[in-house]
Structure formats: C-alpha cells, structure tokens
C-alpha cells in the first residue's frame, strides 16, 4: 500500500502514555480543576492576547474548545497533531470537525493545492476539476448521476430541500429528533423536549428563525422508532422528503440498518423522497459512505467535509430526474442555486487528491478506522464499567461522542444533560493531558492516528476520568 506522508515540521508530542494509578496529588478535592486551569492559562499567553483582539472586533468566533477564559488558538497542524500559537502540541481529535480523514496537511493534498495555486485559485468560470470530482462521487454512490457543488454542508442541505420541494410539488420536509442538518432556517428546527417522544413537536433552534418554519413547513420524526413510519404515512400528501443522518452526530452508532431499511420502504410506498445527509459520514464510514455500509439507496445524498480535502465544500448528488431541478432540463421546474465560490478550482484540486487516495487505499484505510474507533470505544467503556463511571463512548467507526449518564442511550432524548458541568470539566482535563476535542464534543480519528497515538489518547481519557473523581465530580 502507498504510504501517505505529512508535511515536515518540528512536531514533538509533549503528551506521553502514563500509568493510570492515582497518586496522592490526584486526590486533592477540587485541586485538579483549579490546577489544570492555571496550567493552561499560564502556558497560553498568546492565545489570551488574541482573544482580546477577537473580542474587540468579532461578533462570534469559531466554537470554543474548553471552559477557559479564552479559546486555544491553533497556528499549525501536522498529521495527528495541532500546535497552538504558544507552541503547545496536542493530539488532535477534532479532524477539522470531521473533514480530515487523512489527518492534517497530508502531502498529497498539500501538493495538489500548491500546483493549483500556480495556475490560479478562483476563476468564477468552470474549470476541469468539477467534472473530475463529480466522477469520483458517482463512483462512490450508485444513485448518483449528476452532482451540484456548493460551499458547505449547510448549503447542500438547503439546496436539497429546495430541489425536493420543486420536484414533488409538496412543501413539508421531515427531520428526525436529535438531528443536525446545517445553519439555514429550515434545518434549525429541533424537537420540543416536552413533547411526546413518539410524535415530537418541532420548534425553532435559536432566535431569528420564523416560527412558521417548524409549524407549517417541517415535520419532526422520532429517531430509531417505527412510529416514524406511521407519521410519514399520515403526512404523505404534503411531505416532499424525509432527511436523515445515517449516523447522528449526537448519538453515533451503526446498528441502524433495519430501521433505515424500513424507512426506505415506507418512503417508497408513500411517494416521498429520502435524503441521506452524508455531510459527515460520506467518505468517512466507508468510501461509499453509509449508502455502502447499510446497502441502502436513498433518492438524494448531500456531502461536505471530507470531499473537499479540508477546504470548504458541499454537494448535492442524485439521479438525473431529480437533479434536473438545478438546470430545468427536460421541463423540470428549475430552482435558483449558485455561489461565487461554488466548485472553485482550489477546492476541486484538494478534493480530487484526497478522494483519489481514499479510493486507491480503501481496503486498508476503512478497516483501520473502524478497528481503531471500535477499540477506543471498547477500552473506554470497559474502563468506565470497571470503575463505576457514569459515561459511555458512543461510536460509529472513527466518529466518537462521549456521553455522561447512567441510562441506556437509544436516541438523543436519552442524553442526561444534568452532567453538563462534569462534561465541561472532563474536556478541560483532557486538554491538560494534551488531547484536544472540539467544543461540540464529537471527536474523530484519522488515517494519521496510528496505534500508538490512539493509545496515548485513550490513556488521556482515563486520566481525565480520574481527575474528575479526584475533584469529587464523579
């Protein structure tokens, strides 16, 4: 197998595999949290200064990493590591919020970007890269005949919703409780936690979203619950499409095949389109995403993250009959879609390089990602059970989410939010052990996370649990 290389940099991992025995210093009540905060603040003065500048100019920055007076600002990355502006090195479980399946700055992608920059990085007029990247998506997805590129996963779902409404002539789109499909108004609806979990009510997610959206244009369905089938049948005359994350980021798991088979059948029965939102799972779970893993063909699929090789991208893909809504071909009602940077040559070059490598080495990469993710979850869950720690690491291959609580987790409704403070402190301690996880607490492994790096991260998790116990938080 071809080995991937990473850009040269002076990366020395400061973290080390440590014995998980508890010393006297670890059991000082409350001392661990105070100590790690002090340590992190002292070693990140440049991040603190940048935070002051950001507060003076920015309405919002990217997601905060941990509960500190200031964010940790990253200056560079290499392979499985992130390096902050103060020179501190961290094992990266962020993976750019998922896109970096090959790790940070793989040379094959860096070279493709460099080569394209010499030719130009934005034309506004089509170049050859769009068709080349589209052909790879077609190869990965049996339903895909045409592809439309945009700039983010959020744009992709927005355009897919619009295309479904145009194609069917119906207005309602159904989402599942606990799902996330982007930042546009139609996606920013969630289930009212006070509503019946078998027939949840929709409500807006944040200010500024018109109440009419969840009330009249969206239908909320229960996840992993066959009552969803009955709701689809009940609303089929107004329902244009059902959209689902084949792996929910809030509850990552891969034991959903039978539920999705039933979902596929009922959507076909009712004449309702089925969209797989593979923005996260596409080219991460398998080369063919969850379509390949479950052996289920949706009517449309949306992509983002991995298909851009780490650069901004989104895509809607599907059969020609539905995708004609983007062009108005064959008399299909045409939607408005576009974007100044959609399909830009720089992203196309990066995406082609990344996906070509994944295609050529899929027989090694995807079993490795599943193996390491499953091992990570198994070791942590066994550790938590042995030490009576109320936490479980949910995973779908290399996607992982640590959830605190004592009960069984079947859907997002089962998540125990009373542990929110404990969760915040856990990630604080994890950062203190030189492992970084994004503020959304969904973590990822990559091809760059070789066994010894995964071992180091596992030990950091164990130490962080002991830190919580030392502070009597568990």
d(CA 421, CA 430) in angstroms, rounded, equals: 14
- Nearest CA-CA partner of 244 in 281, 202, 283: 281
Reduced to 3 states (helix: H, G, I; strand: E, B; else coil), residue 189 is strand
Which listed residue (177, 277, 299, 434) is catalytic? Answer: 277
Residue 155, number of CB atoms within 10 A of its CB: 25
Residue 305 annotated as catalytic: yes
Q: Which of 261, 314, 306 is nearest to 288 (CA)?
A: 306
The 10 Å Cβ neighbour count of residue 369 is 22
Is there a catalytic annotation at residue 303? no
The residues, ordered by sequence, that sit 6+ positions from 125 with a Cβ below 8 Å of its Cβ are: none
CB 70 within 8 A of CB 44: yes
CA dihedral 193, 194, 195, 198 (to 10 degrees): 60
For residue 29 the two structure tokens come to: 């009540």
Listed as own residue / partner, the contacts of 75-81 with beta carbons closer than 8 Å and 24 or more positions apart are 76/9, 77/104, 77/105, 78/6, 78/7, 78/9, 78/11, 78/104, 78/105, 79/6, 79/11, 79/103, 79/104, 79/105, 79/448, 80/104, 80/446, 80/448, 80/449, 80/450, 80/453, 81/11, 81/13
CA distances from 103 to 12, 99, 126, 172, 436 (A): 16, 9, 29, 39, 14
Contact by Cβ (8 Å): 161, 241: yes
Question: Six-digit token pair at 168?
Answer: 């069917």
Which position among 81, 180, 223, 229 bears the catalytic label? 180
Catalytic residue among 32, 190, 203, 305: 305
294 catalytic per annotation: no
Instruction: State the catalytic residues.
Output: 180, 277, 305
């Amino acid at each position: 197998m071809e080995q991937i290389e990473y850009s040269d940099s002076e990366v020395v991992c400061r973290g080390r595999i440590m014995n998980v025995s508890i010393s006297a210093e670890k059991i000082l009540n409350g001392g661990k949290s105070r100590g790690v905060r002090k340590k992190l603040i002292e070693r990140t003065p440049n991040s603190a200064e940048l935070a002051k500048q950001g507060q003076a100019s920015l309405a919002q920055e990217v997601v905060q990493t941990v509960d500190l007076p200031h964010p940790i600002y990253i200056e560079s990355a290499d392979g499985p590591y992130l390096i902050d502006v103060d020179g501190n090195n961290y094992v990266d479980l962020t993976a750019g919020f998922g896109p970096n399946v090959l790790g940070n700055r793989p040379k094959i992608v860096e070279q493709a970007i460099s080569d394209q920059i010499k030719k130009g990085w934005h034309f506004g007029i089509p170049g050859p890269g769009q068709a080349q990247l589209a052909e790879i998506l077609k190869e990965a997805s049996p339903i895909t005949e045409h592809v439309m590129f945009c700039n983010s996963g959020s744009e992709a779902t927005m355009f897919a919703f619009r295309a479904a409404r145009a194609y069917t002539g119906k207005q309602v789109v159904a989402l599942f409780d606990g799902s996330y499909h982007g930042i546009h108004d139609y996606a920013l609806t969630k289930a009212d936690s006070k509503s019946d979990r078998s027939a949840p009510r929709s409500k807006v997610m944040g200010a500024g979203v018109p109440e009419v959206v969840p009330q009249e244009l969206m239908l909320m369905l229960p996840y992993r619950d066959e009552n969803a089938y009955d709701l689809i049948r009940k609303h089929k005359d107004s329902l244009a499409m059902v959209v689902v994350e084949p792996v929910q980021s809030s509850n990552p798991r891969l034991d959903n095949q039978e539920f999705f088979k039933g979902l596929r059948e009922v959507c076909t029965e009712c004449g309702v389109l089925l969209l797989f939102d593979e923005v996260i799972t596409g080219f991460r779970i398998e080369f063919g995403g969850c379509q390949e893993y479950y052996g289920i063909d949706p009517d449309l699929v949306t992509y983002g993250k991995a298909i851009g090789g780490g650069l901004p991208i989104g895509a809607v893909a599907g059969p020609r009959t539905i995708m004609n809504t983007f062009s108005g071909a064959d008399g299909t009602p045409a939607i408005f879609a576009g974007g100044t940077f959609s399909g830009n040559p720089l992203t196309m070059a990066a995406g082609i390089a990344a996906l070509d490598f994944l295609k050529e080495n899929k027989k090694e990469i995807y079993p490795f990602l599943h193996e390491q993710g499953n091992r990570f979850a198994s070791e942590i869950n066994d550790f938590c059970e042995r030490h009576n720690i109320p936490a479980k690491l949910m995973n779908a291959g290399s996607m992982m989410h640590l959830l605190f609580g004592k009960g069984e987790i079947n859907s997002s409704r089962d998540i125990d939010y009373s542990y929110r403070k404990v969760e915040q402190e856990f990630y604080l301690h994890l950062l203190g052990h030189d492992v970084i996880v994004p503020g959304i607490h969904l973590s990822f492994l990559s091809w760059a996370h070789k066994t010894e790096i995964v071992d180091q991260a596992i030990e950091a998790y164990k130490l962080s649990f002991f830190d919580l116990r030392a502070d009597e938080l568990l």
